[in-house]
Structure 1
Amino acid sequence: MQPVVVPEPGGTVRVVGLGAAGDERRVAAGELAAVVREAEARTEVGPRWTWGDTNRWYPALLAAGVRVERAYDLRLAHRILRQSALAAWPGPDEAVPGPWDTMPPAPLTSAGATRDEPATLFAGLGPVEDAPEPDPHSELDAQNTAVEGSSAAVRLRLLLAAESAGALLAVEMYHAGLPWLADVHDAVLTEILGPRPRLGERPARLEELAELIRSALDAKPSLNPDSPRDLLKAMQYAGVGARSLRKWELERLDHPVIEPLLEYKSLYRLMTANGWAWLDAWVREGRFRSEYVVGGVVTGRWASSGGGVLQLPKNVRRAVVADPGWTFVVADAAQLEPRVLAAMAGDEAMAAAGRGADGRGADMYAGIVASGAVATRELAKVGMLGAMYGGTTGSSGQVLPRLAKAFPRSLAFVDEAARAGERGEVVTTHLGRSSPLPGATWHEAQSGAYQDDAGEDEVARARSSARSWGRFTRNFVVQGTAAEWALCWIASIRRRLWALGQAPDATDGPVPEPFAGRPHLVLFLHDEVVIHAPASMAEAVTDEVRGAAAEAGRLLFGGFPVRFPLSIAVAGCYADAK
């Protein structure tokens, strides 16, 4: 059963395709949750809801305590299929972009709401209650035609299902929130920066460092270390020799200003990214909620809209503390991208290195050393990163020939992806997400090199831009397929956690319905997950997370003998798990 949710003028919703006979129901927006709850309870598997944008419809359902098992997100699927070289989209590729091409995800916060009004976040249908939405029926037909006409239909369907499951999970993590103790966060900031300053003033430690910087540079008391222009000018006057304020360049210099300046930059970044203003804006009622942007990176990786959930520094993770009676299960995939590369390339030698002598394969780089390809783990890591990201100089360039000899299929796979990019061609991930074409600047550089009067500068510019795009496509196929594995992993985790049910000793607490008493995902960082679970269920959750990793590998690569081992820790505080 695949009911389609259709918004109508006047705040009503039409649900088409309910039941075996394809019944249709028209209800007020506020009654949709009851319709979904009834349909979800009717069958063991549950329907596959189809709607234009998960962000638009799902928050209100969760606010009513209704969880959806399966959904199909037309907006996300459209973006993949229109770009994919494997999809046979009906109509010319150069057609003028339509409403599905330009539709952004609905924000999860209500229009005009402030963060002092958390109760409004899931009101009604959210911020776009009366916004027009393109016809979902014709779009669904076009997408089905595109997939059915593809020679890779099975893989595309898996990608679209995983992307849609990710959209459900992103809204669920926003709804549940990441447990966060504001008083602990404040104590961390006070310990590192000093007491909270008055508005417009620096914290005590930053002011101390600012004075040290001025003294080391023999600069005026008015020198503002927050101004890169003024700071570089003072450093030039003092003969420091810095051409920029990049950390790697400063670390190479020998001058009394370097040590306080590096500490200042680090603490200033903490204050601006996760300081008291961040705490006031993003933490409410013991929870941090940030909007994930599913597929927000061109490779399919997620991004975030506000709050910086994908970049939580180690020191503030001390504030991420599980609720009383609960704990965190933190898992991350070991060397995910090189394992994905081995599977994509069908490289059994590299897959064997990933399994290791004991068959567990917790450290692929150690397995590469054991294969005799390189002498040390560090060289194995540097070489593999160079292969996947296009590093051809230094230690990476020296190691690559040895890796190419030991694992020719894997190295040839990424080399071919790079050559395709250098030619301006599209490359595609294992399941079917395709890279964009290079832009106008790239084409101008290439055409300029073929002019009759082209000089050495034009040729060098064309060669440089071609290689740069080749490095992008080299990594695109690996990082994009790793993102697909991660999507399948979290989709499997989500399903498995729900199947575990409620903890027998569950008590009322801050976890909202429908997740009260149930383990649930609260954080996803590319190849890492954090699950908030009743302490009595930690072992069962750990088993399911491992099972989900194995399932993701089978879904993408069938019986190919590549392993995806996990590092898993159980801790009451996120900082203690890392």
Structure 2
Amino acid sequence: MAELRIAVDADQDGPGGRLQPLGEGGQPTGPIERVRDLAPAMAERERAERPRWVWAATDEVYPRLLPQLPASRLGRCHDVKLIEPLLLAHEGLYGEPRSLGAAWARLQGLPVPEDLRLGLAEAETDAHAQDALFAPDRSRLGPGVDSLTALVAVHAEQLRRLAALPEAVRPGLRLLCAAESAGGLVAAEMTYDGLPWSIPVHDALLEELLGSRPTAAQAASGARPPKLAALAVELQEALGGRQINPDSPGQVLRAFAEQGVSLPSTRNYLLRQVDHPAAPLLLRYKELSRIYAAHAWAWRDAWVRSGRFRPEYVVGGVVSGRWASRGGGALQIPRILRGAVVADPGWRLVVADAGQLEPRVLAALSGDPGLIRAGAAGDLYAGLAADAFKGDRARAKLGLLGAMYGQTSGEVGPLLAVLRRRFPQAMGLVEAAARTGESGGVVQSRLGRVCPPPSASWQDVTAASAEEGEDRAGSAARSRGRFTRNFVIQASAADWALALIAALRRRLAEIPATPDGGRPRLVFFQHDEIVVHSPRLIAEAAAAAVTASADEARALVFGDTPVRFPMDTHIVERYADAKGGEKADGDSELDEDETY
């Protein structure tokens, strides 16, 4: 049975818009319908026909509809702006403008307008800039172009381009396009529903960590909260008593040098190796200073409304397909403040974390029987240690992470030699990806997300250095090899996570509401971790939906693989009470900025 699609063109002013039914190939199959109020009209069509909604961009249309939609909401969509860059990358046009106006211009052979862009710092500090950042990008269509005509034509062209892809690529990219569009729905709904945030608990945590809130005048003058100020004094005394600004790396490094401690930087991993009383004080100061700057009172005033933290999520905001956020630090909530995430009375938080996700992705991608066997018992690193490292879990973990992230120096080198002997398929996969990157090629995720090609400056460095016989070419090549070896794993993990939240969103909608109409909602998503806010009476059903969705995502993305992706799931009142969100044994992978 052919899938019904309906194109949606929302009015720029007012609640109305136009709808047009489309066939499976994107061709119009009926007249344009003008409606006064899109939300109820679309809700009625959703109940009766369950179409796939086609629009220029989810973040332009869906947030306007959500306040008026019934609890069931919309099921599926095709997001032109999210799908366009996936297709462009396969056509060798990585990083080209992706708006409806840009896609229309390419289709018509017209000059392509740049996407509307605004600096993050400007958007966070200026209310008018925020409005511009999140405003519909209609200005990208040329004067006199009918937006619905452009939408229908661009959508049909995207379907044609998908169908023209090689058979080896097409099914995976179709799934990725559907999952990316579903991610757009999830992102808008998470912003609308918000993450429950207790202001009294947050105040108590800040008071304990930082002391009382500085007045507006004190904050404007740069005064620190009492406990942070006292810690700065204690650090200064530990470094010989000379007045320093602990927020100035240069001053701190000079002060350490005067104490006989030479440091190249103040990065945390270096400070943890320093045997000096000032080192732990600086680590603590940095932690509290980040909380004060990024998640204290001013942050809450800007981002917490009506007891909910409502950030703006950016689907596919990182090249690997991971999400980002526009302000608010949504994906970097400090663990020490997670106690402020408190379920409503009579509700619970279902917190689930996919432990050791990327090593399991490597096992599924490579089909390496030894690595698959290592993960079968639960703790993949422990299984790896028992198989190849005489039970030494720490060395097993260090070696495998080194293989995935391209770390070869120091202790890692001999560990990699063991891994190559015992797990040749897994090591062969990441090393082949590295060689592709070193030669200037591109690699893909499991579903077909293409990594960025090398920059022009990279090409210049490698070409010039090779001619001059310098080592810069080798260094640049190895750096890109580290990027591509990790991309195939991290981007494939992002594929799985997208499929997970798409499946979970559908399964949560299928759970019958409580007698008072309460429904479980996905309210937080971070790489490999999700939080569902659910009525207590159906929290167990929501937790079961998480487990089923993880298995569905495994089958969709990796097919018939014996690798399992277990979710460590907890039903709690406070986010901080969920062990799954803590990765207490230190199994969190490297940060995005360290791998890219």
Per the normalisation by structure 1, the TM-score is 0.87
Deviation at 1:219, TM superposition (A): 4.3
SS in 2 for 1:156: helix
SS in 1 for 2:571: strand
**Deviates most, 59-68 or 548-557:** 59-68
In the alignment, the residues of structure 1 paired with residue 249 and residue 13 of structure 2 have an alpha-carbon distance, to the nearest angstrom, of 54
**2:207 counterpart of 1:190:** yes
Deviation string for 1:123-142 (max 9, x for gaps)? Answer: xxx73386555621221122
In the alignment, the residues of structure 2 paired with residue 369 and residue 75 of structure 1 have an alpha-carbon distance, to the nearest angstrom, of 45
Whether the 8 Å contact between 1:241 and 1:253 is mirrored in structure 2 is: no
Whether the 8 Å contact between 2:271 and 2:280 is mirrored in structure 1 is: no
- Quick one: which of 407, 429, 446 aligns to 1:391? 407
Whether the 8 Å contact between 2:55 and 2:78 is mirrored in structure 1 is: yes
Partner of 1:501: 512
In the alignment, the residues of structure 2 paired with residue 69 and residue 136 of structure 1 have an alpha-carbon distance, to the nearest angstrom, of 20
Higher normalized helix content (fraction of residues)? 2
Change beyond 3 A, Cα 1:363–1:434: same
Q: State the one-letter code of the partner of 1:175.
A: Y
Whether the 8 Å contact between 2:451 and 2:487 is mirrored in structure 1 is: yes
**Deviates most, 479-488 or 189-198:** 189-198
In the alignment, the residues of structure 2 paired with residue 234 and residue 103 of structure 1 have an alpha-carbon distance, to the nearest angstrom, of 45
Deviation at 1:62, TM superposition (A): 0.6
Partner of 2:190: 173
Q: State the one-letter code of the partner of 2:262.
A: G
Change beyond 3 A, Cα 1:263–1:282: same
- Quick one: which of 84, 90, 98 aligns to 2:112? 98
Deviation at 1:19, TM superposition (A): 9.8
Partner of 1:307: 328
Change beyond 3 A, Cα 1:242–1:164: same
Deviation at 1:271, TM superposition (A): 0.8
Change beyond 3 A, Cα 1:405–1:280: same
In the alignment, the residues of structure 1 paired with residue 269 and residue 236 of structure 2 have an alpha-carbon distance, to the nearest angstrom, of 21
**2:337 counterpart of 1:316:** yes
In the alignment, the residues of structure 1 paired with residue 280 and residue 370 of structure 2 have an alpha-carbon distance, to the nearest angstrom, of 46
Change beyond 3 A, Cα 1:106–1:559: farther
Question: How many aligned positions are there?
Answer: 543
In the alignment, the residues of structure 1 paired with residue 225 and residue 124 of structure 2 have an alpha-carbon distance, to the nearest angstrom, of 34
Change beyond 3 A, Cα 1:232–1:347: closer
In the alignment, the residues of structure 1 paired with residue 111 and residue 440 of structure 2 have an alpha-carbon distance, to the nearest angstrom, of 22
Deviation at 1:96, TM superposition (A): 9.0
Within 5 Å, which residues of 2 pair with 1:177-576? Answer: 177-198=194-215, 199-200=218-219, 201-221=223-243, 223-356=244-377, 362-372=378-388, 375-451=391-467, 454-455=468-469, 458=470, 460-504=471-515, 506=516, 517-576=518-577
In the alignment, the residues of structure 2 paired with residue 467 and residue 328 of structure 1 have an alpha-carbon distance, to the nearest angstrom, of 44
Change beyond 3 A, Cα 1:576–1:415: same
Whether the 8 Å contact between 1:3 and 1:16 is mirrored in structure 2 is: yes
Partner of 2:161: 146
Q: State the one-letter code of the partner of 2:448.
A: G
In the alignment, the residues of structure 2 paired with residue 447 and residue 336 of structure 1 have an alpha-carbon distance, to the nearest angstrom, of 37
Deviation string for 1:306-360 (max 9, x for gaps)? Answer: 111111111110100000000011111121112111222222332222222xxxx
Partner of 1:17: 21
SS in 2 for 1:3: strand
**Deviates most, 55-64 or 128-137:** 128-137
Deviation at 1:370, TM superposition (A): 3.5
Change beyond 3 A, Cα 1:214–1:169: same
Partner of 2:58: 54
Whether the 8 Å contact between 1:53 and 1:105 is mirrored in structure 2 is: no
Deviation at 1:10, TM superposition (A): 6.9
Partner of 1:512: none
Whether the 8 Å contact between 1:374 and 1:402 is mirrored in structure 2 is: no
**Deviates most, 60-69 or 301-310:** 60-69
SS in 2 for 1:562: coil
SS in 2 for 1:23: coil
Change beyond 3 A, Cα 1:240–1:313: same
Within 5 Å, which residues of 2 pair with 1:25-174? Answer: 25-27=32-34, 31-43=37-49, 46-66=50-70, 67-84=73-90, 98-99=112-113, 102=115, 127-128=135-136, 131=139, 133=141, 135-151=150-166, 152-174=169-191
Deviation at 1:394, TM superposition (A): 2.7
Partner of 2:591: none
Change beyond 3 A, Cα 1:187–1:303: same
In the alignment, the residues of structure 1 paired with residue 119 and residue 22 of structure 2 have an alpha-carbon distance, to the nearest angstrom, of 25
In the alignment, the residues of structure 2 paired with residue 87 and residue 389 of structure 1 have an alpha-carbon distance, to the nearest angstrom, of 27
Deviation string for 1:271-323 (max 9, x for gaps)? Answer: 11111111211111100011110000001010111111111111110100000
Deviation at 1:87, TM superposition (A): 11
Whether the 8 Å contact between 1:55 and 1:106 is mirrored in structure 2 is: no
In the alignment, the residues of structure 1 paired with residue 251 and residue 360 of structure 2 have an alpha-carbon distance, to the nearest angstrom, of 47
Deviation at 1:97, TM superposition (A): 7.8
In the alignment, the residues of structure 2 paired with residue 87 and residue 432 of structure 1 have an alpha-carbon distance, to the nearest angstrom, of 15
Change beyond 3 A, Cα 1:111–1:14: farther
Change beyond 3 A, Cα 1:130–1:77: closer
Whether the 8 Å contact between 1:342 and 1:351 is mirrored in structure 2 is: yes
Q: What percentage of residue pairs aligned between the two structures are identical?
A: 44
Whether the 8 Å contact between 1:4 and 1:137 is mirrored in structure 2 is: yes
SS in 1 for 2:562: coil
In the alignment, the residues of structure 1 paired with residue 398 and residue 407 of structure 2 have an alpha-carbon distance, to the nearest angstrom, of 9
Whether the 8 Å contact between 1:84 and 1:428 is mirrored in structure 2 is: no
Deviation at 1:114, TM superposition (A): 5.5
Deviation at 1:573, TM superposition (A): 0.3
